[in-house]
Amino acid sequence: MGSEQVWQSDHYDSKLGFVSEFGKDVVRLLNPIKGERIFDLGCGTGDLAHEISQAGAYVTGMDLSEPMIKQAQCKYPEIKFLVGNGEQFTLDDKFDAVFSNAALHWMKSPQSVLAGVWNHLNPGGRFVAEFGGKGNVQTIVQTIGEVLRADYGLNDAKLNPWYFPSIAEYSTLLEQQGFRVTYAAHFDRPTKMVDNEQGLQHWLKAFADHFFTALSEAERHDACSRIAVKARDELFHDGSWYADYKRLRVMAIKPK
């Protein structure tokens, strides 16, 4: 993952396993082949790096979060994992493919990320990624903003840690870097949160910490409860919370 979000790797594995579950579709798009060298950018606790390695590929996983990488290395000792920043990385290795699931929206300098991906791909290599696209978690973002502005006088735009580009914007960045975009899709994926009534609160705790750093623990708790009350009509159905995810999925080739 990226940015200064504090990741709780146990919580990530036990409550947010859907991240890796959905990522299996992206692994299918990657279609790893035996013997290929593949870089997993923002690998989290390593489940998809492991999935990719099952095809016989040699995988290197990198994440900014040290606890995530520790957990990944503990779960999958045979895979090479390292701590590193996706906006600024230099490795000795080159890869046949770079893969990334649910991580790039934490990196607000996409040009730097794409330059790093390009530099680490062999000619003919592919970049396959999925992350939040334009309008991702829009109801949640808007409601956080309303509560922070009205109740705490905070500027939510400055606190927002996420980058959710449109398909046109991101395809253009890929082309400007020199890639040939062979696939791009932007689609809705309403995603059921775990823990029924507490689902949104858990999601905010796991992912939206940045917005609340200026608040005390009690204020944070109140703010999250108010957000849940306001967002309930839109996001709570049939006994569960659903995050209004919109994904951007791309495949791009570095020409030979």
CB of 253 to ligand BEZ, least distance (A): 25
Nearer to ligand BEZ among residue 162 and residue 241 (C-beta): 162
Longest dimension (CA), the chain: 56
How is residue 112 written in tokens?
A: 């730097």
CB of 165 to ligand BEZ, least distance (A): 12
CB of 170 to ligand BEZ, least distance (A): 14
Position of minimal CB gap to ligand BEZ: 132
CB of 193 to ligand BEZ, least distance (A): 11
Nearer to ligand BEZ among residue 102 and residue 113 (C-beta): 102
Nearer to ligand BEZ among residue 3 and residue 60 (C-beta): 3
What residues pair up with 121 in beta bridges, in sequence order?
95
What residues pair up with 80 in beta bridges, in sequence order?
60
Nearer to ligand BEZ among residue 63 and residue 96 (C-beta): 63
Are the beta carbons of 62 and 39 closer than 8 angstroms?
yes
List CB contacts of 211: < 8 A, sequence separation 6 or more: 144, 148, 154, 156, 159, 160
Are the beta carbons of 207 and 12 closer than 8 angstroms?
no
CB of 91 to ligand BEZ, least distance (A): 25
Nearer to ligand BEZ among residue 79 and residue 103 (C-beta): 103
- Residues lying near ligand BEZ in the complex (CB under 6 A): 102, 105, 132, 136-137, 162, 207, 245
Nearer to ligand BEZ among residue 58 and residue 211 (C-beta): 211
Nearer to ligand BEZ among residue 12 and residue 58 (C-beta): 12
CB of 137 to ligand BEZ, least distance (A): 5
CB of 1 to ligand BEZ, least distance (A): 9
